[in-house]
Amino acid sequence: MMKFVLIAIVFFFCKFTFAQEVTFSEDRFYELIFNNHPLSKQANLQVLFGENSVLKARGGFDPKLYGRLDQKYYNSSQYYDMLNAGLKVPTWFGVELKTGFESNRGAYLNPQNNTPANGLWYGGISMNLGQGLIIDNRRAELFKAKIYAESTFFEKELQLNELLYESGYSYWHWFLSYHSEQTLIEAYTLALDRFNAVKIIAELGDRPSIDTVEAIIQLQNRESMLLQYKAERTVSMYNLNSFLWDENAFPLELDSLTIPINLDSISPSPYWFSTEEEIDSAIQNHPYLQITNFKIKSLEVDKRLKREMLKPTLDLQYNLINEPINSNPITDLSLNNYKWGVTFEMPIFLRKERGDLQLANLKIQEQQYENDNKKAYIEFKIRSSITEMNNALRQVEIFQKNVKDSEKLLSAERKMFEIGESSLFLINARETAYIQSKLKLIESIVKSQQSYLSLQYALANLV
């Protein structure tokens, strides 16, 4: 028997210990989202996209080995055996260095392809003196890749800002439904206790029996409201769960003992900019405008490239050639042994090139108009968010006073009821007014927090 009692005591102690409510703060919520949410991890990939785009563009300047072997045999004769292999080294200034080895032989070889018995070594340069001298496709791609890499930091910020904004709204909706439910639980408990008390007093004949009808109606009304808030809290918790993941990308779920921060722990304060210059600075440095500015820079690179296409193609190639002696390519090297060539080409009307340049100008104009429009919209969102938040804070002050005044009236009405100078109807009316004012206060506090969230979102400052 003693053993059973000890087990029961331990069980009761454990149940009491582990059934404690756990507060889930907004900061902890954001920390989990920032570290574990799939969209947060996806946003972090943006920077990697940028870095690898630069790596890819730099590949246009990688040295390249090349080689070609052509052979032809027919009727037991070797028509030709042609080998050409070497190394090309592109440079930033449009000059390409080249070195290689050529060895050709065969019974029916074109005479111009004849090489000495040891083959022929060559080394030289090729360069664009016209089109491609200032900028070419390789340099343009690298320019744009670097611009894109810079913009990915702001793209990451915008994606995280969007995620934290949506999740923050869900947190405060959960906060609203939880504390509203707690208020209704308190109201329902009061109504239930009053009904039981009135029922006993009526049975003793000290109160009219009609008071029990008034009490049961009030109890039923509050039970109905309580069921509604319970459902809202459950739905809001499901919504909140959709944002929660662990470090291994498994979804998390809050249990029924997890609660939001306490109502009294929130002390909203106004938010403002001290000068117009601060607002202008916040707008100019907004990540979205930074991204559109980077787009304009990228389009300007395209414009430079299209302007370069108006020039004629003038490619110059020059190679020193020499027969390697004892595998040494510079033995008996002479400047009189060389091979060179020049290529010239230019469209007469340049209609394609002029059209491409005009299209590039139009795209820049289009992006600038979008930038101006977005700038005006961002300014509107920031200023309206500041107004809404400060208005919400004013409402919090009003409802805080309203709750205190309603509580005073309720307390006074209860004292009058106890001495028989009031009615159950007036008690219920005062209590209902007090409950409604408390619900309005909770709603106004949530509105102030969500308006602050909207302001930070408009500033792209949630990250």
Q: Is 103 helix (H, G, I), strand (E, B) or coil?
A: strand
If phi > 0 it is left, if psi is from -120 to 50 it is alpha, else beta; for residue 381 that is alpha
pLDDT of residue 4: 35
Q: pLDDT tens across 17-47, in order?
A: 445 788 999 899 999 999 999 999 999 999 9
Q: What percent of the chain has pLDDT over 90?
A: 58
Total-model pTM: 0.82
pLDDT of residue 183: 92
Q: What is the largest CA-CA distance in the chain?
A: 133
pLDDT of residue 15: 42
Q: Is 327 helix (H, G, I), strand (E, B) or coil?
A: coil
What's the rounded Cα separation, in Å, for the pair 107 and 84? 18
What's the rounded Cα separation, in Å, for the pair 103 and 115? 6
- Domain locations in the chain? 20-57+139-301+357-458, 63-133+312-348
Handedness of CA 421, 425, 426, 430 (dihedral sign): positive
Q: For residue 420, what pLDDT band results from cuts at 50, 70 and 90?
A: confident
Q: For residue 410, what pLDDT band results from cuts at 50, 70 and 90?
A: confident
Instruction: State the DSSP code for 61.
Output: G
What's the rounded Cα separation, in Å, for the pair 150 and 156? 11
pLDDT of residue 118: 87
Q: pLDDT tens across 54-111, in order?
A: 999 999 999 999 999 999 999 888 899 999 999 999 998 889 999 999 999 988 888 8
The domain 20-57+139-301+357-458 having CATH identifier 1.20.1600.10: the answer here is: yes
The mean pLDDT value of the chain amounts to 87
pLDDT of residue 206: 66
Q: 339: how many CB neighbours lie within 10 A of its CB?
A: 12
CA 154 to chain centre: 8
